[in-house]
Every structure is written in structure tokens, then in C-alpha cells.
Amino acid sequence: MSIKKKAVTCLVTAIIAIVGVKYAGEVRTSAQGLALIGDAEGCRRDPYLCPANVLTAGIGSTSGINISHLYSDAEIAAMWVEDLQRAERCINKNFHGDEMNQNQFDAMASAAFNMGCLGLMWFTDSRGVRQRTTIWKHAQARSWAAMCNRLPDFVNGGGRKLPGLVKRREAERVMCLEPVT
């Protein structure tokens, strides 16, 4: 007989507010981008295994998670900012993020946050050879619309297609293609 543990959730909006106040100017991702990431990831104080079987807490944080710790809003915000900065560095360094408009940057930062930088840049083909992703190639060519339209290519987690990733990638694609006014 197993006893299921109830998830201890937190509010994404509260974490976004903390990031906006305490970490103002430390991340480029806009409030709209933060909401996209937060809504896709959800927020949990208690560590859990994500669909890819990775220990996770807060808003999708996977680094240094203590399985027996219940995380506070302040801890979750701090972990999230570190993760966001890592994703943003990836997009700036490898995808010409400094040349993207805000919506393109937010969508790509969301993808890098979720998949990791290497997962967005490389794949292994059917012969076992590492190849650059098409999304990376489009970014190198500054073909932003083509880059955005490749986001739905990345919908697998733990070796299978996940409905949550299908929904997230479509939201990222739509945001990425939306002109900034």
C-alpha cells in the first residue's frame, strides 16, 4: 500500500512579484515571458520528479534540489532568477538574443529554460551523429520567423511526446511571432 503525498504548491504570480521587486534589472525576460514560463512549469515548494524523471522544485528548478526541503517564496524566486539568467545567457551567446525583439527573446529563453542550452542547440541523428538543430541554424541566419516556427519541434520529454510540451511550445511560437508594439 502506498501513501500519496499531496503537492505543496505556491503562486507563480507571487514569485513573479518578488522577482520584479527584489531582482529588478537582473533578468531581461519580461513579465509576459515570466508568466509563460511560470504557467508552463507551475510552482511547488516540495521537491518532485518531473515527467523527465528529474528532481525539481519551485518553478522548474533542477539544480541543487534538497529532496527533504520545503522551499519558501524567497528561495524559489532566487533559484528561478539563477535559472532564468542561465537561459538568457544561452540565448544571448548562442542565438543572437541581443538582436531579437522582446517577444522572440522571451519565447527562446522559455525554451532554453525548459530544455537546457545544449538541448536547444544540438541533437543526435539516427546514425548517432551530433548535429546542430534547425532552430539554431535559423538564429545564426537571423531568420527570426523561421526560428520561431521551429519551437514546436521540441515536444518530447523523457523519450516521449508530452501534451504539456506541445501546449508550451505552441504558446512560445505564438509569442515569438507576435510583433512588439
Q: Which of 10, 26, 41, 178 is catalytic?
A: 41
The CATH-assigned architecture of domain 12-177 is Orthogonal Bundle (1.10)
147: pLDDT strictly greater than 50: yes
% the chain with pLDDT above 90: 92
| Average pLDDT over every residue of 54-80 | 97
Q: Do the Cβ atoms of 50 and 56 come closer than 8 Å? A: yes
41 is catalytic: yes
2: pLDDT strictly greater than 90: no
Stronger pLDDT, 52 or 156, i.e. the higher one: 156
If you ran DSSP here, which 8-state letter would residue 57 be given? E
What value does the mean pLDDT of the chain take? 95
Q: Which of 26, 43, 50, 170 is catalytic?
A: 50
Domain extents in the chain: 12-177
pLDDT per residue as tens digits for the range 26-59 = 999 999 999 999 999 999 999 999 888 899 999 9
How much is the pLDDT for 1? 44
If you ran DSSP here, which 8-state letter would residue 26 be given? S
pLDDT category of residue 4 using cuts at 50, 70 and 90: low
Return the HEC string of 90-150. HHHHHHCHHHCCHHHHHHHHHHHHHHCHHHHHEEECCCCCEEECHHHHHHHCCCHHHHHCC
All residues at 6 or more sequence positions from 62 whose CB lies less than 8 Å from its CB, including other chains: 50, 54, 55, 56
How much is the pLDDT for 75? 98
pLDDT per residue as tens digits for the range 81-97 = 999 999 999 999 999 99
